[in-house]
Chains A and B, each alone.
Chain A
């Protein structure tokens, strides 16, 4: 149980375009999902907390107008990178924990974004 999927697993886009990444909890309902970004040889950095039915909470320094998060259902959160630039190239990972799993987070496989 506790499987989280992400789609796509990798994407290449041109500078100035927007990219949407989906995060789904497959076998449980996730009231809270988290979006992380990881640059090469660095650890995961929390970008935002996505709450079902309400606005996301962004970490300091993360532009909410650039990284749009929508958590429209208990099993789906989306991250849209708007007007992407090469410096947005990174590994984006989502995680989820439901009401019954207050502490453990289950991570998706990640999405590799390359902006050319």
Chain B
């Protein structure tokens, strides 16, 4: 069955450093992969989508890579700020439909 793995341990980094979060998946051949941010008690917010034929995508301080051979995506936040503290979710489309399957998320804590 399809499986998505994200590091369940919280990632603590210092303000100004680059945060790198990992998403690994198995038994998938997704056409694209998405990253979302979720704050406590709130719904997820869409951040980036990267397609299978794209190696890298950037949006302001965010960068996502997608390695379909390794079945892995890396999510980077450069020049991190305390306001970036949140849980970041990786999501892939279910085969043949629009519904998404989410990873368990990685909580990022940026220390001032």
Contacts and interface: CB of A to CB of B under 8 A. Distances in A.
Interface of A: 4, 6, 32, 34, 42-44, 46, 49, 91, 93, 95, 97, 102-110, 112
With most chain B CB atoms within 10 A of its CB, the pick from A44, A97, A104, A107 is A44
Contacts of B43: 4, 6, 93, 95, 107-110
B104 A42 contact: yes
B21 interface: no
Interface string B47-59: 0010000000000
B33 to A, nearest CB: 10
B112 interface: no
Given A49-B97, A103-B93, A112-B41, A43 B102 contact: yes
Contacts of B98: 32, 34, 49, 97, 102-103, 105
Interface in B67-112: 89, 93, 97-105
Interface of B: 32, 34, 36, 41-46, 49, 89, 93, 97-105
22 contacts: A4-B43, A6-B43, A32-B98, A34-B99, A42-B104, A43-B102, A43-B103, A43-B105, A46-B100, A95-B43, A95-B44, A102-B98, A104-B34, A104-B49, A105-B98, A105-B100, A107-B43, A107-B46, A108-B43, A109-B42, A110-B42, A112-B41
Contact of A49 (B32, B45, B89, B99): B99
A107 B45 contact: yes
Given A97-B98, A107-B36, 13 more contacts: A32-B98, A43-B89, A43-B102, A43-B105, A44-B89, A46-B99, A49-B98, A91-B41, A103-B93, A103-B98, A105-B34, A107-B43, A110-B43
Contacts of A95: 43-44
A103 B44 contact: no
